[in-house]
A = this chain, B = another copy of it.
Amino acid sequence: MSSSRPLRLALFGSGRIGQVHARNLAADPDIELVLIADPFIDAARALASQTGARAVQDPEEVFAAQDLDGVIIGSPTNTHVDLMTRAAERGLAVLCEKPIDLDLDTVLACRDRVKNATAPIMLGFNRRFDPGFAAVNARVEAGEIGPLEQLTIISRDPAPAPRGYLETSGGIFRDMTIHDLDMARFFVPDIVEVTAVGANQFSDDIRELGDYDSVVVTLRGRGGELISITNSRHCSYGYDQRLEAFGPEGMLEARNLTPTAVRKHDASGTELQDPIMNFFLERYAEAYRLELQAFAQAIRSGTTPSPGFADGLAALVLADAAVESAQNGKTVTVEQIW
């Protein structure tokens, strides 16, 4: 594909994540956001007016549009498989927010239908594009610490989502830990065992839903790598997002981000930094921008994007294994179906 004209993209969904993508698309001179589709047409129109796109209510209008290069799926989870399948069948590139679906069989069925897709399918595991995590990953790949032996991921949300969201979220492993499972696979693609422990520490809502508000997951990679994930659904000091990669020659850690490098010193203590970023869209603002660039690059070059469909499938397999392990108190061996 020539780079002589901007890419023409459509967006499904004008909610929180759709707005992030729409604004990033609008600021990129090499991409034209043509259509925004949302059953809530008012929301689509509001976003369209800010970004020079046209709002449509019916997804069919997207699939009928001429000269479209690809779609970004930021609509609710239960629409992902249908929209992805139809887009792929029309030869459109797809960037789909995670998860593909909460049900493994549905994802497997979807896989069969998109396996002959000619255009790239990319999964929205945005954290792979975070400059800090990406830098650690690249430096590990470059051999800076020798072969990876241990990976410690700490990931805490500022506060639980509303109960309505939690009820359809698929549970902490499929909704929240899934990002960390993908981060684990960013470093160690080949995971063979999952051991998970869950607890109810503070949220009655979550307890009533039969879910955990706090979990620790241990993964084993095929090469014997040990990965530890610690999650909590709340965190008073912001959106705690850190990791440490350990190998025989050293350790690389990605720390939390603060808005400035200002430090305060007073009678109560020294080196106090600003609070860390509290909101995922702010914390991962740069990651969302870079993710979009990677998607555009995959379309233009015709290469397979990363993370792709198989990564979305793999993360769900690991999340399901974590559910099983936590419930049964057993380590679960993972069958590598991706």
Q: How far, in Å, is A158 (CB) from chain B's closest CB?
A: 10
Q: How far, in Å, is A152 (CB) from chain B's closest CB?
A: 6
Q: How far, in Å, is A156 (CB) from chain B's closest CB?
A: 8
Q: How far, in Å, is A284 (CB) from chain B's closest CB?
A: 13
Q: How far, in Å, is A149 (CB) from chain B's closest CB?
A: 5
Interfacial chain B residues near A135, Cβ < 8 Å: 259-260, 262, 274
Q: How far, in Å, is A279 (CB) from chain B's closest CB?
A: 14
Cross-interface CB contact of A258 among B144, B225, B228, B270, cutoff 8 Å: B270
Given A199-B220, A225-B199, are A230 and B331 neighbors across the interface (CB < 8 Å)?
A: no
Cross-interface CB contact of A132 among B214, B236, B251, B261, cutoff 8 Å: B261
Interfacial chain B residues near A201, Cβ < 8 Å: 149, 224-226
Cross-interface CB contact of A154 among B152, B225, B266, cutoff 8 Å: B152
Interfacial chain B residues near A249, Cβ < 8 Å: 236, 266-267
Interfacial chain B residues near A27, Cβ < 8 Å: 27
Cross-interface CB contact of A226 among B26, B216, B250, cutoff 8 Å: B216
Residue on B with the closest CB to A331?
B329
Cross-interface CB contact of A197 among B195, B199, B202, B269, cutoff 8 Å: B195
Give the contacts of A301-335 with B (CB-CB under 8 A).
Answer: 329-331
Assembly CA distance A225 to B264 (angstroms): 20
Assembly CA distance A215 to B226 (angstroms): 8
Given A272-B271, A329-B330, are A252 and B262 neighbors across the interface (CB < 8 Å)?
A: yes
Assembly CA distance A255 to B240 (angstroms): 17
- 12 other contacts beyond A149-B232, A234-B248, with CB at 8 A cut-off? A135-B260, A135-B274, A150-B230, A193-B197, A228-B228, A228-B230, A236-B266, A237-B251, A238-B267, A249-B266, A263-B271, A269-B273
